[in-house]
Chain A
Amino acid sequence: MAEKQKAKNSLLARASDFFDLPKEIALNLPLVTIIGASEVNIENYKKIAEYGPERVQINTSCGVFKIEGKKLVLKQITSEAIKITGILKNIGYIT
């Protein structure tokens, strides 16, 4: 199952590369935008895994996205996107 998914994904990845399609739409990947050192926008996320003022974890299709910082606030939450503001320190995927 996983193999099949991977093969499909790589085919799609190659196709989207070939046609210059935006990957986040073609492959259902999250689009993470960092604005300065105080704002992160995550589009196409799955759900909030953990929320605290110093750590936020968000499930996405390619793993858990972890944001560490201070005074983190979920500024805006909709089903498509989530905006997090605060003092950002460490951002990355837990794989």
Chain B
Amino acid sequence: MIVAIWNFIRGFVTVEVTGRATERFINMAVHRDIYIWDAQSSPDGVFMNVSLKGYKELKACAKKTGCQYRIIAKKGFPFVARRYGKRKLLPIGALFFMFSVYILSTFVWAVEISGCERLAGFEISEFCAANGLRPGAFKSRIDEDGVEKLIMKRFADIAWVNVYIRGTRATVEIKETLPLKIIVDKTTPCDVVAAKDGVIINVAASLGSPVVKTDDVVRKGDALVSGKLEIKRDDAVIRTDYIHAEANVLAKVYYRINFSVPFKYSEKQFTGNIYKHTGFILFDRKFSLEKTPPFKCFEQSSEHKRFSLGEDYPLPFIAIVTTYKEFVPIEKTRGLDEALKLADKIVTGRIIREFDIESDIIEKKINFVENPDGILIKSIITATEDIGREKPLWKTRDGAGGPAEDPAGDPADEDENGQTND
């Protein structure tokens, strides 16, 4: 293969040698250091490929051996060059092309952010753009180390960042820090309150005194476990302690999902007619001859395709292929059973999508009211969840919770002066 490419660059001639002793002709040519390849018999003699340089010497061989030869084909770059040599603009165009590719390759045309998990990638790319790392920036003007330092300074959650440019693609590699553990300040006195309305199933308080029992109905914000600890002797309160209440409060929570399912609906039936339209983005400018497709109803989808020289050299040309698919809306009606099935599917879908992973669904009730147009779904979903949320007994002062003056001392003395709000 490599040899074939080399031969093409050097140029070669396919000749047909005819005569009595073609072997002699070949031997003589070889003796004169002419490189011959792909010699195969033809109806009259032998076809063979000879290099351009060797071709000139064939004449002498032919004379001595009494063979004749004629050119069948001329192949290779020298012949192509000769054919196009007269066109002055062509090499200029080729040069211009190479030059423009070179110029284009001195810019950054794509900035990629990788490794974002909690951070928003677009924030980082905006920040990079503000600091000079953006598509269209001159490569030598970009200070990778400087951008790295600025990113580290600006975003607190980044443990390590690496900015590198390969080809015309700049990559910002980010490693985020491990998520901070929520540190519960156990010195802050607090209650456990309900985060949602519900019916209590079980209260398991590890710290604090429960104020609700099983089957109690609580509203959002109601205290469930109190952090106020009254120490009594003979029914007289002798001291009040405020502690950090901690509890696992399991409750039934009811969710209502209401929606209606009409009997009449339209379905898209694709006709198979497709209309494609191509536009371009050139240096962030959109060039497209917007045309409306010749369909009344259609679905539209577009695909961006970036031109690139290899993997490392994306270019600032993006083709946008917009596909329009024609469809015909077909009016259909469904029965009650079908509508109910659909309603059940919708409810299940919403449970999967919207409900917390830790909540257990224990009941799914779907009630409906039938109208002439459709059915009105009123579904009630019962789930068991931990509804307890810690709520400090009083607002924290300057960051530190509770008795900030003397955290080591007995909190009770301080707390009697402190204001409680439950």
A residues at B contact (CB < 8 Å): 47-53, 71-79
Contact = CB atoms under 8 A, between A and B. Distances in A.
Interface in B23-43: 23, 26-27, 30-31, 33, 35-41
A74 B37 CA distance: 7
A49 B23 CA distance: 6
B22 interface: yes
B40 to A, nearest CB: 4
Given A47-B27, A48-B23, A51-B23, A77 B41 contact: no
A77 B23 contact: no
Q: Is the interface of A mostly helix, strand, loop or mixed?
A: strand
A53 B40 contact: yes
B26 A77 contact: yes
Contacts of A75: 37-38
A50 to B, nearest CB: 6
Contacts of B26: 48, 51, 74, 77
Contacts of A53: 40-41
**Most-contacted residue by chain B among A50, A51, A52 (CB, 10 A):** A51
A78 B26 CA distance: 10
Contacts of B40: 53, 71-74
Nearest to A74: B39
B39 A77 contact: yes
Contacts of A48: 23, 26-27
B272 to A, nearest CB: 49
Given A51-B46, A53-B41, A77 B22 contact: no
A51 B36 contact: no
Contacts of A52: 41
B23 A79 contact: no
A44 to B, nearest CB: 13
Contacts of A47: 23, 27, 30
Nearest to A58: B23
B204 to A, nearest CB: 80
Closest 6 CB pairs of A and B: A74-B39, A47-B27, A73-B40, A77-B36, A53-B41, A48-B23
A71 B22 CA distance: 17
Contacts of A79: 30-31, 33
Contacts of A71: 40
A78 B35 CA distance: 6
A8 B143 CA distance: 77
A16 B38 CA distance: 36
Contacts of A50: 23
Nearest to A59: B27
Nearest to B47: A73
B39 A51 contact: yes
A78 B41 contact: no
A82 B330 CA distance: 75
A78 B41 CA distance: 18
A46 B26 CA distance: 12
A51 B30 contact: no
A40 B148 CA distance: 62
Given A51-B46, A79-B33, A73 B38 contact: yes
Contacts of A76: 36-37
A78 B38 contact: no
Given A51-B22, A51-B41, A52-B41, A77 B46 contact: no
Nearest to A82: B30
A31 B62 CA distance: 30
Contacts of A77: 26, 30, 35-37, 39
A89 to B, nearest CB: 16
Contacts of B23: 47-51
A76 B30 CA distance: 11
B195 to A, nearest CB: 78
A63 B347 CA distance: 92
Contacts of B31: 79
**Most-contacted residue by chain A among B36, B39, B46 (CB, 10 A):** B39
A75 B30 CA distance: 13
A73 B39 contact: yes
A78 B27 CA distance: 10
A18 to B, nearest CB: 35
A51 B40 CA distance: 9
Contacts of A51: 22-23, 26, 39, 41, 46
Nearest to B42: A53
Interface string B261-286: 00000000000000000000000000
